[in-house]
Structure 1
Amino acid sequence: MSQRFKDIDYIDLLLWLFRAVIIIIVIWGTVAKIFLGRGNAYTADDWIDFFVSGLSQGSLYALIALGYTLVYGVLFMINFAHGDFFMSGTMTATVFVALPLSASGFLDEHPIIGMLAIMLTAMLISIGVAVLTERVAYRPLRRAPRLVPLITAIGASFFWQYFFRGLYGSSLVPFPELAVLQGKYNLFGIEILKTRAVVVVASVVMLVGLYFFVMRTKTGKAIRAVAEDKDVAALMGIDVDRTIAITFATGAAMAGAAGVLYGLVFRQVHFFMGFVPGIKAFTAAV
């Protein structure tokens, strides 16, 4: 009997109890709101709006979470600076591309070309910041105890936050609105904001593209091989350092694209914008 109690993982038990309590609270609150009429009851349109809003924001978090998952799968480290890769590309693309294109009127006249230019810039900047961080901060510590890269990642996050604060200031930077994305789509009688629809569609396209990249390309197979066993992958002729750098770049590209979509939805960016989405995406990844 005593041995059975010793085998119980009390931390897991506590976590499962905590999850159960949260689920019960959410279910009870929902039932009370819908059926018991407590408070101001939500209408069907309200619930549809909640669903679409959650779907669009969840799509953004999914794109960011992929970076955490890719890096952890290859290096078994949590890259807490990933949210700042998301921020760096978005801030730079907004200041140097989006706002000038909007001021000149090009963004409204050629919205597709303009948005592609903004997104490409954000992705390239995010990739550059990610690859530089991997090369300078993470690669020298690859064989260090696991706590060391974790602390380094937190330090890198602070560094990039205040580096870009020094570049762009601490004020909110407005993200330009696209005239073509004003208003709503009517889908089977359901009205959906155009920005949210674009976010969901763009996210799905990028997620599918990433799946084919990882599963069907030679580089993707190399990433999976390195994630499985670095030493064996090196013996098979795979450049491990290059593959890890590509992994960082891939995750950062998704984060940069997510940052532009974030700007479309929330219409403002700032140097601290990567922290909260980064934490939420990390939670989703875990």
Structure 2
Amino acid sequence: MIVLQNLIDAVSLGAVYALAALGIGLIFSVMRLINFAHGELIMVGGFTLYTLAGQPLLVMILAALLTSTVLALGMERVAFRTLRKASPATLLISSFAVSYLIQHIVLLAFGSRAMGVAFLPELGTAIDLGGLRIPLLQLVTIAVTLVLMAGLVAFFRLSETGLQMRAAAEDFTMARLVGVKANRVIAFAFAISGVLASIVSFYLVAQTGSVSYKMGVSMVLIAFVSSVIGGMGSIAGAALGGFLVGIVSVSLQAYLPVDLRPYRDAFVFLLFVLFLFWRPDGLLASRADRDRV
């Protein structure tokens, strides 16, 4: 029974990591950009919920979705579009600059202390299923993640824009030569990453009941690790990596000696380093390893 409880915890955490990793992996697949400012999209979604606390739930959710999406599109248009032909190192530095800029704007506006916000507190209650006590938040997280992933699969396979994004992920230069519009594809990728980031912020705020200007930092680091494990440039690999990191994290928390549990994250990253020695390209390495233009 304990093993099953730990498995549910692992899948729930992995679902959140998978959504965060999808946002990172999607941008990298079409632009060869590791967008470390993705964490600030999560953070801004959380602060939107804080700012609108007390408003109808639907208003809070839609506003957070809109804010993160608009910020993602603005980020692409202002910070990255003009540097699209620059080296990967330049794009990486730009993403760090955007990250720090947004962090410090929020820091000036709201201060450095974490602030409490009541968002879906009813999801903190647990239900009994055959001797298992499962928080509603975990069940909702797993269900929402499955629905979103199914929706993304349908989008990439059935819609014209989704097919263009898949083509761009395979070979951006060739996709442009056959008529795929680079600006449109990349803007769609950033918009989707903004939506995914806001949904991750819903989970974090509902779980912790607070927001802070650094709330997206650890999540984007885990999302990056998950993307590398799954295979940079592979969207499916990013999701797979997120689930694996979640399973490993919960397993270590459950089975490490009590004295070592505070160092769980250190063990996670140690396993990550060892994994790279074995599979440096990730589990589902993308065939599209050419530079983007």
Find 1:167's aligned residue among 109, 131, 138. 109
One-letter amino acid of the counterpart of residue 221, structure 2:
I
Aligned equivalents of 1:200, 1:181: Cα separation in 2:
13
Aligned equivalents of 2:102, 2:14: Cα separation in 1:
25
Matched, 1:195 2:151: no
Partner SS state of residue 127, structure 2: strand
Alignment-derived partner of residue 35 in structure 1? none
Q: Describe how 1:232-247 pairs up with structure 2 within 5 A.
A: 232-247=174-189
Shift of 1:213: 1.3
One-letter amino acid of the counterpart of residue 284, structure 1:
S
Aligned equivalents of 1:215, 1:73: Cα separation in 2:
16
Find 2:7's aligned residue among 39, 51, 63. 51
With structure 1 as the length reference, what TM-score do the two structures score? 0.74
Matched, 1:83 2:25: no
Shift of 1:179: 5.4
Partner SS state of residue 133, structure 2: strand
Aligned equivalents of 1:167, 1:214: Cα separation in 2:
38
Matched, 1:100 2:54: yes
One-letter amino acid of the counterpart of residue 192, structure 1:
I
Shift of 1:177: 4.8
Shift of 1:157: 0.9
Alignment-derived partner of residue 262 in structure 1? 204
Alignment-derived partner of residue 22 in structure 2? 66
Contact 1:196 1:265 in 2 (8 A): no
Structure 1 residues 175 and 145: CA distance shift in structure 2, 3 A: same
One-letter amino acid of the counterpart of residue 94, structure 1:
Y
Task: Give a deviation string over 1:149-197, Cα, whole Å, max 9, x none.
Answer: 1111111111111112222222212131545434212223321011221
Larger Rg: 1
Contact 2:5 2:132 in 1 (8 A): no
Aligned equivalents of 1:196, 1:79: Cα separation in 2:
27
Aligned equivalents of 1:149, 1:182: Cα separation in 2:
40
Contact 2:123 2:136 in 1 (8 A): yes
Partner SS state of residue 206, structure 1: helix
Matched, 1:132 2:74: yes
One-letter amino acid of the counterpart of residue 28, structure 2:
Y
Q: Describe how 1:116-127 pairs up with structure 2 within 5 A.
A: 116-127=58-69
Shift of 1:66: 0.4
Structure 1 residues 73 and 57: CA distance shift in structure 2, 3 A: same
Aligned equivalents of 2:46, 2:121: Cα separation in 1:
20
Aligned equivalents of 2:172, 2:24: Cα separation in 1:
19
With structure 2 as the length reference, what TM-score do the two structures score? 0.73
Partner SS state of residue 59, structure 2: helix
Partner SS state of residue 194, structure 2: helix
Partner SS state of residue 102, structure 2: helix
Contact 1:60 1:262 in 2 (8 A): no
Task: Give a deviation string over 1:252-283, Cα, whole Å, max 9, x none.
Answer: 11111111122111211111000001101111
Task: Give a deviation string over 1:195-230, Cα, whole Å, max 9, x none.
Answer: 221122112211211221122211101111222233
One-letter amino acid of the counterpart of residue 104, structure 2:
Y
For structure 1, the 5+ residue unaligned runs are 1-43, 107-113
Structure 1 residues 135 and 249: CA distance shift in structure 2, 3 A: same
Aligned equivalents of 1:219, 1:175: Cα separation in 2:
37
